[in-house]
Structure 1
């Protein structure tokens, strides 16, 4: 019975990540490839998050614990209370641990990209964008564009960005990720 429960937890988490665009793409343009130094956040944070992913009429929920300091970004993904993915990024190397049943196409690099796109200062993101990419911020809304076309928007409930609610609407990969965070 425990292995069936474990399988369901991993399947739920894998499905949620796959629909968020955190899976390797076999068609369409490549992901942005954002990799900012942890210190570029300019803050130390530790938050528990509840994630809701919506795509193609499906909704999936999962929990995560995120910690960022000047030296590293750490994230642990939980499905039904069981760890199914963890990642650590020190500004140079991204390492991950994954449950054995987690599909290979669920990529830690894509998860890190969504975290950094949502939380890091817009000026730091703009500084490293490849040619053709732009990011702007007006009030509590960010817009990421490629060659003038909107790729994603992020709406925040308030500041700082890692508290409250952030809604990432990725038009390129057609998913909406709602992140509800609370400080520890």
Structure 2
């Protein structure tokens, strides 16, 4: 099965939804994975644990360069690890990524060089689900991440909007429903399948 470049964009979230050259935090852990926020700027991902635990099945629909593609994602996260499985629209597993205290471990079921690194996929997932307080120590100097009503905005040191996440109250929880990545030019909508 051929994986199109569009799957690559869909996976950028976890797309997706899951990204600096310099990092000034004294608490940086060089054993943790990094991801691109914009060209030339990387960030170390926050620790993998989150409470309360998350578990969801999502249909991600990504739009890139006027093309649309869907990807099924199963997300499980608890106080020790994050597990993310990506499936094609016909149910074929494309990848399985686990992030725990020892780093990211991946299994790729289909050889597809255009798939992004697992850390990039996890970055979008964690950016949309993890609290702002987990991200702030990780961000490059001058970058901001703020919740404003039903939106979360990641801005670079110049104040430019890099990523915008829209939320909806669902089952008493605030859940991301779309991610707009303004620098890498992709948009992902998230439909929850476990209602």
With the shorter chain as reference, the TM-score category is 0.7 to 0.9
Report the CA distance between 1:91 and its aligned residue.
3.6
RMSD between superposed Cα atoms in Å: 2.5
2:151 paired with 1:127:
no
Which residue is 1:73 aligned to?
A: 82
Q: TM-score, normalised by structure 2?
A: 0.77
Contact preservation (8 Å) 2:9, 2:64: no
Q: Which runs of 5+ in 2 are unaligned?
A: 20-34
Contact preservation (8 Å) 1:62, 1:77: yes
Which residue is 1:143 aligned to?
A: 153
Q: Which aligned segments of 4 or more residues in structure 1 are displaced greater than 6 angstroms?
A: none
Q: 1:150 to 1:91 in 2, by over 3 A?
A: farther
| Alpha-carbon distance in structure 2 between the residues aligned to 1:70 and 1:86 | 19
Q: 1:43-86: CA deviations, max 9, x gaps? A: 11111010000111100001011000111000110001011111
2:174 aligned to which of 147, 156, 161: 161
Q: TM-score, normalised by structure 1?
A: 0.82
- May I ask how many residue pairs the two structures share in their alignment? 170
* 1:19-98 superposed matches below 5 A: 21=12, 29-30=39-40, 32-39=42-49, 41-79=50-88, 80-98=90-108
SS of 1:33's partner is strand
Q: 1:105 to 1:132 in 2, by over 3 A?
A: farther
SS of 2:183's partner is coil
Q: Which runs of 5+ in 1 are unaligned?
A: 1-6
Report the CA distance between 1:149 and its aligned residue.
1.0
Contact preservation (8 Å) 1:86, 1:97: yes
Which residue is 1:16 aligned to?
A: 7
Q: 1:43 to 1:32 in 2, by over 3 A?
A: farther
| Alpha-carbon distance in structure 2 between the residues aligned to 1:82 and 1:19 | 15
Q: 1:109 to 1:87 in 2, by over 3 A?
A: same
Which residue is 1:4 aligned to?
A: none
Q: 1:117-156: CA deviations, max 9, x gaps? A: 0110112111321212111111110000001111011011
